[in-house]
Structure 1
Amino acid sequence: MTLPPPPFGSAGERQLQQHFGTADRADRFYDQQVRSRLTPEMREFIGRQAMVFLASADSRGECDASLRAGPSGFVHVIDARTLAYPEFGGNGVMASAGNMIENPHLGMLFVDFTHHHVGLHVNGVAHLYHDADLRSIHPGLPTDVAPGRGPEMWVHLTVEEAYIHCSKHIPHLEPAPRPAGRDANRPRDADYFTEGNRLR
């Protein structure tokens, strides 16, 4: 008789746990910390966050990491199994969203750098929606996420697992207003990392 796979953890995780002798400790973590839905505390935590780090990969497994930011709560908690956040126009590459078309698995990492110094991993399956289409399903979506800008699309995530990122190595950061105007000594974004460019 073949046993079903454990509910959390990849085959690679399990292999390394056996190799390094951490399987019992990992099992306690899966049992005590990993959830298949968002707890009320997780939902409240997400509602306070102004940024999230994204992990996506294309159909070949080639990875991309990205950042999304907005006013607190720009990642909208629909219910314990569902999140949505808006995608706005950027450089036109659409690397993260393009990966989601090929491979819908998405990892999100929310980090509180300023108060409790804790993080929350949320992994799940993403689908892309036009604004009007998702609003027809979830009319409670916020309408003022970015004043004066409308989303090109929404990323709708069905949560599969959520778990803590411990505070041990999370630095303390203090929010500060962005300086008015552009620093004349700072290269423009398009030139910032070009060969031969040096900060003065």
Structure 2
Amino acid sequence: MTRPFYHDGMREWQDATDGRRVADALEERRLHRTFWDEDRALITSAPFFFIATGHGQHMDCSIRAGDPGFVTILDDHTLEWPEYDGNSMFRTLGNIARNPHVGLLFLRFDGQSRRLRISGRATIHGVQHRVVRVECLEIYPNCPRYIPDLASGTPSPHVPREGHVPPAPEWKQRDYIRDILPADDPFRPK
């Protein structure tokens, strides 16, 4: 049995902003538990990703980086990477040792590639030569709406700025979304 994708706090915000219909549609259409081809391409070509871990009040966010291909996909819902030499603080591994629940974020700072969020359970294998393996329980692609293109120095056109009207994000124009956007959404069809 899997946990609900949204907890009560998320639902409260969705209801307060008339966003529950959109949230439910995104869960139905975008949430998956096995890797799509586009997920595999992003993960296996990634030179880095971010990892969130926590235990009690000890929350942490870190980056893992290596040559593209350092993250290996083992099967339809499992990935792993080597833990390279660090600063001996072991904040990430220490949290995983006490709480296996992790959040991973894969993205390219190119202003156009989708982000990929993964929630899963991590295990640590080895001591001197460590590998972290994650069973991916929720795989969720996100739009790149606010991500800048760092290579060109171009900011996202979607960021609100004085004198600038941001364009509609692609996902808000999808057939299964556009007519259920919140009543006050500026991109809802009139």
Shorter-chain TM-score category?
Answer: 0.7 to 0.9
2:125 aligned residue: 129
State the SS of the aligned residue for 1:45: helix
* Residue identity opposite 1:124 in structure 2: G
Q: 1:37 deviation in Å? A: 1.8
1:116 aligned residue: 112
State the SS of the aligned residue for 2:107: strand
Tell whether the 8 Å contact from 1:117 to 1:171 is kept in structure 2 after alignment.
Answer: no
After superposition, residues 132-171 of structure 1 pair within 5 angstroms as: 152-171=129-148
Q: How far, CA to CA, are the matches of 1:123 and 1:35 in structure 2? A: 11
Cα 1:6/1:99, change in 2 over 3 Å: closer
1:82 aligned residue: 78
Q: How far, CA to CA, are the matches of 1:21 and 1:79 in structure 2? A: 38
Cα 1:24/1:156, change in 2 over 3 Å: same
* Residue identity opposite 2:85 in structure 1: G
1:13 aligned residue: 10
Q: How far, CA to CA, are the matches of 1:126 and 1:65 in structure 2? A: 15
Deviations 1:9-59 (A, max 9, x none): 22221222122221111001101111122112211221111100111101x
* Residue 51 (str. 1) matches residue 48 (str. 2): yes
After superposition, residues 59-78 of structure 1 pair within 5 angstroms as: 60-78=56-74
Higher relative contact order (CA 8 A, sep 6+): 1
Over the aligned positions, Cα root-mean-square deviation in angstroms equals 2.1
Q: 1:6 deviation in Å? A: 7.0
Q: How far, CA to CA, are the matches of 2:6 and 2:70 in structure 1? A: 29
Tell whether the 8 Å contact from 1:54 to 1:67 is kept in structure 2 after alignment.
Answer: yes
Q: How far, CA to CA, are the matches of 2:79 and 2:37 in structure 1? A: 13
* Count of residue pairs brought into register by the alignment: 152
Cα 1:5/1:72, change in 2 over 3 Å: closer
Tell whether the 8 Å contact from 1:117 to 1:172 is kept in structure 2 after alignment.
Answer: no
Q: How far, CA to CA, are the matches of 1:164 and 1:51 in structure 2? A: 17
2:92 aligned residue: 96
State the SS of the aligned residue for 2:141: strand
State the SS of the aligned residue for 1:44: helix
Deviations 1:167-198 (A, max 9, x none): 111111229xxxxxxxxxxxxxxxxxxxxxxx
Q: How far, CA to CA, are the matches of 1:5 and 1:54 in structure 2? A: 21
Q: Could you say which structure has the larger radius of gyration? A: 1
Identity over aligned residues, as a percent?
Answer: 30
Tell whether the 8 Å contact from 1:57 to 1:99 is kept in structure 2 after alignment.
Answer: yes
Q: 1:152 deviation in Å? A: 2.9
Normalised by the length of structure 1, the TM-score is 0.70
Q: How far, CA to CA, are the matches of 2:91 and 2:58 in structure 1? A: 11
* Residue identity opposite 2:6 in structure 1: G
**Most deviating of 4-13 and 32-41:** 4-13
Tell whether the 8 Å contact from 1:43 to 1:80 is kept in structure 2 after alignment.
Answer: no
Cα 1:5/1:154, change in 2 over 3 Å: closer
